[in-house]
Structure 1
Amino acid sequence: MNLSLWDQLTKQFANRWEELLQATGMHIELVVLSMLLAIVVGVPLGIWVSRAPKLQPWIIGGAGILQTIPSLALLGFMIPIFGIGMNTAIAALFLYSILPIVRNTYTGIRDVDAATIEAARGMGLTSLQILFKVQLPLALSVIMAGIRTSTVINVGTATLAAFIGAGGLGDFIFLGLSRNLDALILMGAVPAAMLALILDYFLGITEKLATPKGLK
């Protein structure tokens, strides 16, 4: 007897809910670790490029080239360096996540009104003080937009980690494709989509809390 998709999904969930929880936790770990690395590297790179505009074509252009490499191909390129598993997935996700963060940090800082910067200099602030007290606060919403974009892309791309044995929700999608079971595909795809929405929502709240009151 053929079961409906809903019945199949209910049956698969009842049998595999523990695996689903474990895969979700692994997926979150992949996304969080790669995003933290991308933020730690990407924001300083964006600041550096804003201070040395001649580097902009090289750094932002180079990050853009990385985005053009197909996800599976990039994972394949990482395997000889990091081997099969989680480290390779994190490295590839980091490279895919860095462009929006670098570009938005650069754009946000460069778009700060020149008159505001001159006023800060007139008050005796040093270049470093202007950066942290004026430019970064004013650019924060643009930087956070880049982080949010990277995070959403990262959640979806992380499903491909299953192809190199790194785990995550992609395991269900891969298994569903290999067995031609739509219910298993949905068990991986739906939680991944929900995770992207949840992370984007909480990053939006973080952006509002971190933005100075006068800039909200």
Structure 2
Amino acid sequence: MNIVHFVTSFFGDGAHWHGYDGVPRRVWEHIDYSLIALGIAAGIGLPVGLVTGHTGRGGNVLAVIAVAARALPSFGLLVLMFVAIGIGLTPVMIPLVVLAIPPILVTTYEAVRSVDPAPVDAARGMGMHPAHVLLRVELPAALPLVLSGLRSAAIQIISTATIAAYVSLGGLGRFIVDGLYQRDYEKVVGGATLVALLALLALAVFWLAGRLAVSPGVRRR
């Protein structure tokens, strides 16, 4: 049997669409985990990236942090957090947030640093407060790259949030883990397909956000 057969069998089985282990519930759990992790990572990475990019200080430190964070294995960190903290959402959030901070942090820093200095100098020459220069001049111009960092982090979180199933939580990883244990490859392929579809949905959401939030002039550039 090929992958197409597994996919059609999984989605065509009404039993997968109802109850505690149904697709709607597992999709919502996966989205919930992903949104929480992305929100925490953005709350840390965006302010630090914006401020360091605005001041031009700390770029080397950010690079070291990004390399170190990316070198940490998410599953290994999950196991360590599970042993140290126990069952719950926190052991899952820590590796997801650690995974998501580097692309947000580094991309935001580089986005602000790459803004054309001419309008920034003009704003400073007009006596604008540094915070206003950052928020009203640099951030709008840097927004496409900032969104790309958030998009990259979101895709990584969605792809990795399947590890929640390894510590008895839900999400789409439940289909994959349970399917492997039961040797039900229809369920495994179905879960993996749902993760891929959710990642594509995230790409569409960020594309729409870019169309709505980024000014046409900045998009053309």
- TM-score (norm. length: structure 2): 0.88
Number of residue-to-residue matches in the alignment? 212
Query: What is aligned with 2:76?
Result: 73
Post-superposition shift, 1:9? 2.6
1:9 is matched by which residue type in structure 2?
A: F
Q: Distance in 2 between matches of 1:71 and 1:82?
A: 16
Residues 205-214 or 127-136, more deviating: 205-214
Q: Distance in 2 between matches of 1:97 and 1:136?
A: 20
Percent identity between the aligned chains? Answer: 29
1:148-187 matches, cutoff 5 A: 148-187=151-190
Query: What is aligned with 2:141?
Result: 138
Cα pair distance change 1:7/1:95, threshold 3 Å: closer
Does 2:45 correspond to 1:42? yes
Post-superposition shift, 1:52? 5.0
Query: What is aligned with 1:9?
Result: 10
Could you report, residue by residue, the CA deviation over 1:121-177 in whole angstroms, capped at 9, with x for unpaired residues? 122212111101110000000000000011111111001111112211001101111
1:137 is matched by which residue type in structure 2?
A: P
Q: Is contact 2:78–2:91 with CA below 8 Å preserved after alignment?
A: yes
Cα pair distance change 1:145/1:6, threshold 3 Å: closer
Q: Secondary structure in 2 aligned to 1:85?
A: coil
Match of 1:24 among 27, 31, 41: 27
Post-superposition shift, 1:53? 4.3
Q: Is contact 1:97–1:150 with CA below 8 Å preserved after alignment?
A: yes
Q: Is contact 1:60–1:102 with CA below 8 Å preserved after alignment?
A: no
2:10 is matched by which residue type in structure 1?
A: L
2:87 is matched by which residue type in structure 1?
A: I
